[in-house]
Amino acid sequence: MRYVYLDKDNLGKFFDLLKEDYKIVGPVKKENKFVFAEVEDVSEMSLEYIPTILPPKKYFFPQKEKLGDFNMGDTKMSQTSIEMQPTVIFGAHTCDIDGIECSDAVFHKDPADPYYSKRSKMITVIGYECMFQCDDCATCVTMDTHNPKAGYDIMITDAKDKYILHVNSPKGNEIIQKAGELLENDSEEKIKSYLVKLREEKMKKFKVSLIANYNELKDIFDGSYNSKIWEDVGKRCVSCGNCTAVCPTCYCFDIYDDVKLDISGGDRTRIWDSCQLKPFAEVAGGENFREERSSRQRHRLFRKFDYSVNKYNKFFCTGCGRCTRTCMAGISLIDTVNDLTKEKNNV
């Protein structure tokens, strides 16, 4: 919609202006890792960070939430009302913004999830473009999530002596109107061509670690259902479920009821679940559709590179690298996808 410059010395003032209207969550260093947490001052954030332990999905879709209360005999549950302060997610990387677009596709699809939708309305996303690759686990270049495209209200790009702010929504525009005197204008054409130059330069600092390119990935998965590679991965997996908890595009949940002792009613809660846990695909009678770890691993990656394309026309892997980074068994998404690629190409 619009491009403006922000002097680097004015970032603190810009943050303070936001604070007048929003709760702000941003990337904060925690020991040798990073987390998204509430911040009061711009200095608390580390804008150059490797992906946080959990992605920003926790603000849209909390790990555990009460859905409502019910009375026995009533056919309807009274829904928990979502009380959420207007919140800015500050400094989200482009891969995580792609993750938000994936969960939007799921939760906003008719019928929209009312809890997710309500939170979504209260959240403003101010992204921060990565100008170098965070580490060797990331595959954002192949997944085409390393440059900003959509899904944010404002994107901040480090343009050496200044920041470039791309304003991409009416919500973003409101913020920019308020920040008026902190900003500098220039012709849109000039700023856009500067961005092209900056992005050409940044590509020298990114590496491509997947053998396959974006357009080949779906085909590779289509032909891999019976591959022995799933057995090899299954032998190493310990079924902890960490890879799905940290994944920005995993959205499976379980629902359980807590019933009062006098069985007059109760409340209903949903909680993140994981397809990597054995009971996930268990059904009445004790049958389990994915009893083997190998089939659960295959399912996880098919949900990223195959089924999601059929259903949402989108890969559900943002290339953030969290699953590889977190796996205590050393299972790497890069190795698995590269092994499948080599198998397909008979290398």
State the Rg of the chain over Cα. Answer: 22
Mark residues 281-320: x for contact with ligand SF4 by CB under 6 A, - for none. Answer: -----------------------x------------xxxx
The amino acid occupying position 79 is Q
Give the pairing of strands 87-92 and 123-128.
Answer: parallel
**Binding-site member from 46, 169, 239, 338 for ligand SF4 (CB under 6 A):** 239
Distances (CA, A) of 199 to 195, 204, 342: 6, 9, 31
Q: Does 141 bind ligand SF4 (CB under 6 A)?
A: no
Give the closest residue to 249 by CA, choosing from 327, 188, 301, 195.
Answer: 301
Q: Considering the complex, state which of residue 7 and residue 216 has its C-beta at the smaller distance from ligand SF4.
A: 216
Least distance (Å) between residue 163 CB and ligand SF4: 27
Q: Closer to ligand SF4 at the Cβ: 45 or 331?
A: 331
Burial 260-272 (b: 16+ CB within 10 A, else e): eeeeebbbbbbeb
For the segment 269-288, give every residue that binds ligand SF4 (CB under 6 A): 276
Q: Is residue 111 reached through a cis peptide bond, with omega within 30 degrees of 0 on the bond before it?
A: yes
Nearest of 171, 319, 167, 294 to residue 226 by alpha carbon = 294
How many residues form the binding site for ligand SF4 (CB under 6 A)?
26
Cβ of residue 341: shortest distance to ligand SF4, in angstroms? 16
Give whichever of 50 and 327 is closer to ligand SF4, judged by the CB atom: 327
Residue 146 near ligand SF4 by CB under 6 A: no
Q: Is 210 in the site for ligand SF4 (CB under 6 A)?
A: no
Residues in contact with ligand SF4 by the rule CB under 6 A:
237-243, 246-249, 276, 304, 317-323, 326-329, 331, 333
